[in-house]
Amino acid sequence: MTQKFLVITGASRGIGRATAELFLAADYQVINISRRDPQLEGVRHISADLAVTGWAEAVADKLKQWLAAASQITIIHSAGLLLKDNIETVSAEDLHRVMQVNVIAPAELNQLILPSMAAGSAIIYVGSTLSEKAVANSCSYVTSKHAMVGMMRANCQDLSGKGIHTVCVCPGFTETEMLSDHVGGSQEILADIASGVTFNRLIEPSEMAATLKFAAENPVMNGSIMHANLGQIES
């Protein structure tokens, strides 16, 4: 019997939580890694702060134990850190912290799990519209999301012949706590953001979850960047 596992980071809220729920409903065994327990029935949680050096070593034994029965593994790198900064204000410390969460931690998690991944498995990155463009005052985040695309493309080449595929799914403006926090909870700003989308609304986390599941289950997408943004209006 096929034992399908999802290992996801950041399932305590937003896109990550919706994704964990969707994979659970599809009979995947779900393991979440994040600081906060998502409190979802059926999800096995490992508490870890991805911003802290050494987090991977601390979770390695438990993760390998739980994945021992896996015949197919999907990794979804959903955790992310978004700071307000720009070329004049970004500090080396903050840049390192954002890169640690958004780029280095995914690389560390891949290395932990790859020995357990058989053909049919997948590595899926949650990128951003800002993986291929930029806006002001998001310097460290834009830098990290561009780097994530590079990592995905490198993974595609390095995993050639192993039957493991990788995709970077780039959400547009999604109705999450991260976006709300970034704009200070302003409903006026959120409405203005939605007006810049051809559907005149924000994306639902469940819509992104369905897109991530599609990417995970379709190896023909290997090496691809998938933009899922409802069509942003370009000025």
pLDDT digits (tens, 9 = 90+) for 18-71: 999 999 999 999 999 999 999 999 999 999 999 999 999 999 999 999 999 999
CATH number 3.40.50.720 given to 4-176+205-228 = yes
Joined together, the tokens standing for residue 169 give: 């799914």
Q: Which whole-number Å values give the CA distances from 164 to 20, 68, 100, 155, 219, in the listed order?
A: 21, 18, 24, 9, 8
Pairing of strands 224-228, 43-47: unpaired
Q: What is the pLDDT of residue 173?
A: 84
pLDDT score of 190: 83
- Residue 107: pLDDT band with limits 50, 70, 90: very high
Q: Please report, for the chain, the start and end positions of each structural domain, with discontinuous segments joined by +.
A: 4-176+205-228
Note the pTM of the prediction, 2 decimals.
Answer: 0.94
**Buried b vs exposed e over 84-122: b needs ≥16 C-beta within 10 Å?**
ebeeeebeeebbebbbbbbbbbbebbbebbbebbeebbb
Q: % helix / strand / coil in the chain, to the nearest 5?
A: 45, 20, 35
Average pLDDT of the chain to the nearest whole number: 95
* pLDDT confidence of residue 177: 76
In angstroms, the CA 37 to CA 201 distance is 29
Long-range contacts, stretch 186-194, CB < 8 angstroms, 24+ apart: none
What is the mean predicted confidence (pLDDT) over 111-135?
97
pLDDT at residue 127, rounded to an integer: 98
Over residues 207-225, the mean pLDDT reads 98
162-214, pLDDT tens digit by residue?
A: 999 999 999 988 887 777 776 788 888 888 888 889 998 999 999 999 999 99
Res. 138 pLDDT band, cuts 50 70 90: very high
> pLDDT at position 1, please?
60
Phi-psi region of 157 (alpha: psi -120 to 50; beta: other; left: phi over 0): alpha
- Nearest alpha carbon to residue 77 among 16, 147, 142: 16
Q: Is residue 122 within 8 Å of residue 164, measured between CB atoms?
A: yes
